Chains A and B, each alone.
Chain A
């Protein structure tokens, strides 16, 4: 894949190692926090799978844009992984918050967690669709593609989290 070989060849070891270190540190700290707070294996698996999916979707988006649409992946596309990850954090944290506040209540059940995540995913999706569409209208060319790609990838995340939770708690 040309994108990856170009990145591997042109990037310095400092760039590669600092980005790798950043990713690993964030991943370990967030998963550790989830473990300490919940001690729930299913939620930890859900979080790990969600973060990995967000990484796969981001890389997949860039590959599709480059290979299928012949789009040049420029420096602005570096923002997509971070923005998508921030949306993922919001989705996971909302689920985590609901779980920790209701786990000791009588009404708590996996179905209530799924329902809450569905409600949150719907709200997140409305925000993402409307706000990203609104700003993309005023952009042209490479910026338009960039914003649409970012919005589309971010939109996948809450629904992926919902599907993952549905699968984990089936």
Chain B
């Protein structure tokens, strides 16, 4: 009897084949999703490239600063800009108008009685300065968040209850919230190094956002003594003219801080509050005089046509290099495949997650990515230098750049990382497919 031949399974080969099939499926899916108009082919999963172009609005806020002092006006301008930037407003322009002054009569609190024959004293006059700030905001953010950022002073200070006021009077429920019913203390914005807004557990078992005030190191002892003096009492934290109650615990922990409740319900509320608290202290009163809607100056493109044009140009470039043999064939295939996959994965991610994007930035990112991938593929000895220099530059520009630069930099960091990861993967993929 002839012996049956042994059936051997090349496990490694089978696994390689399965992995290759899976990778090919992912690549094809990414390309399919990234292509324009493919979202119209299926209702099973929603994916569509969302552009921010139609969401932009522009308003000019005229805010009056109660000061003629150049430094105070400049400080106010700086803080308003920082608030808007920290909140994520895309474009801000602030210009300072002409300062106007007005003399007003200051009436004293005590009545002055004049004896017969005495001349009545002239009432004191005070010069009041007003300087308008014209704040032009162009953004996709909700309009309701912007007005507080540009018009509120948002001063905060610790206060103690005045004697003789009935805070439990049910007929005067507002008594506990009015600043005039409290005495000032030495603890205002200068005593606290930072303000955090975070979710904490409530007494009812749920969770809510609280504002936590952390003092400077040199103020910790003073604050501890103050809280120990008022242990068990209710003090107030006055924020923008409204007082929030704070019940001082009987024993003060080593981690000295104050906290209050807040109206924040979602991440945008928290971001707005954080910008209001942590962008700096506006030294003067602000009054919102006027708001005016303006036409939005936003550039938008037909990104479908542009991306098709880009794809065609990319193929022409690689054909040129192939025909004129400027680069090795395997390197051309590797870099073209990597560019295609990187951009497809990125656009697929944007489409699936409905992440809004400025349409005019996309083609520029695509060009830079194509150049980057070709440079990484064609210069192995320079790969680490190109990638490192790119990441360093983009990280710094994402931290310190203006709005457009920040968005571009963050997106380019993702594309650079994808390029660096996928380049060796595509080389492995091509080698494996060749040997199938």
Contacts and interface: CB of A to CB of B under 8 A. Distances in A.
**Do A and B interact with each other, yes or no?**
yes
Interface stretch (A7-15, A57-65, A106-114, A160-168): A7-15
A13 B75 CA distance: 9
Nearest to B404: A78
B392 A29 contact: yes
A36 B251 CA distance: 56
Nearest to B80: A12
B104 to A, nearest CB: 31
B356 to A, nearest CB: 17
A83 B368 contact: yes
Interface residues on A, range: 35 or more
B94 interface: yes
Main secondary structure of the interface of B (DSSP, over half): helix
Contacts of A73: none
A25 B396 contact: yes
A22 B91 contact: no
A127 interface: yes
A90 B313 contact: no
A148 B367 CA distance: 13
Contact of B379 (A21, A86, A98, A137): A98
A51 to B, nearest CB: 11
A3 to B, nearest CB: 14
Interface in B244-300: 297, 299
- Tell me which of A29, A75, A95 has the highest count of chain B C-beta atoms within 10 A of its own C-beta: A75
A39 B234 CA distance: 66
Interface residues on B, range: 35 or more
Contacts, number: 169
B77 A82 contact: no
B313 A131 contact: yes
A156 interface: no
Interface string A67-87: 000000011101100110111
Interface in A85-110: 85-87, 89-90, 92-98, 100-101
B297 A139 contact: no
Contacts of B302: 138
A98 B382 contact: yes
Contacts of B320: 126, 130
Interface in A29-65: 29-30, 33, 37
- Tell me which of B91, B299, B374, B379 has the highest count of chain A C-beta atoms within 10 A of its own C-beta: B379
A22 B401 contact: yes
Interface string B153-197: 000000000000000000000000000000000000000000000
Contacts of A147: 364
A143 B364 CA distance: 12
B301 A97 contact: no
A76 B82 contact: no
A90 B305 CA distance: 28
B381 A101 contact: yes
B381 A138 contact: no
Interface string B390-415: 10110011011111110011001000
A150 B74 contact: no
Given A10-B93, A15-B81, A128-B371, A135 B389 contact: no
A87 B371 contact: yes
A82 B371 contact: no
Contact of A127 (B363, B370, B399, B408): B370
Nearest to A22: B400
B425 interface: no
Contacts of B93: 10
A37 B382 CA distance: 12
Contacts of B147: none
Nearest to B416: A86
Contact of A78 (B372, B393, B405): B405
Interface in B346-399: 360-361, 363-364, 367-368, 370-372, 374-375, 378-386, 388-390, 392-393, 396-397, 399
Given A76-B299, A79-B408, A143-B301, A97 B382 contact: yes
B196 to A, nearest CB: 22
14 contacts: A10-B93, A22-B399, A33-B389, A74-B297, A75-B403, A86-B368, A93-B389, A95-B382, A122-B326, A134-B309, A135-B309, A135-B367, A143-B301, A147-B364
Given A82-B397, A143-B299, 8 more contacts: A10-B93, A14-B81, A19-B402, A83-B364, A97-B386, A126-B321, A128-B367, A134-B309
Which 4 A/B pairs are nearest by Cβ-Cβ distance?
Answer: A97-B382, A134-B313, A101-B381, A22-B400
Interface of A: 9-10, 12-15, 18-19, 21-22, 25-26, 29-30, 33, 37, 74-76, 78-79, 82-83, 85-87, 89-90, 92-98, 100-101, 120, 122-124, 126-128, 130-135, 137-139, 142-143, 146-147, 150
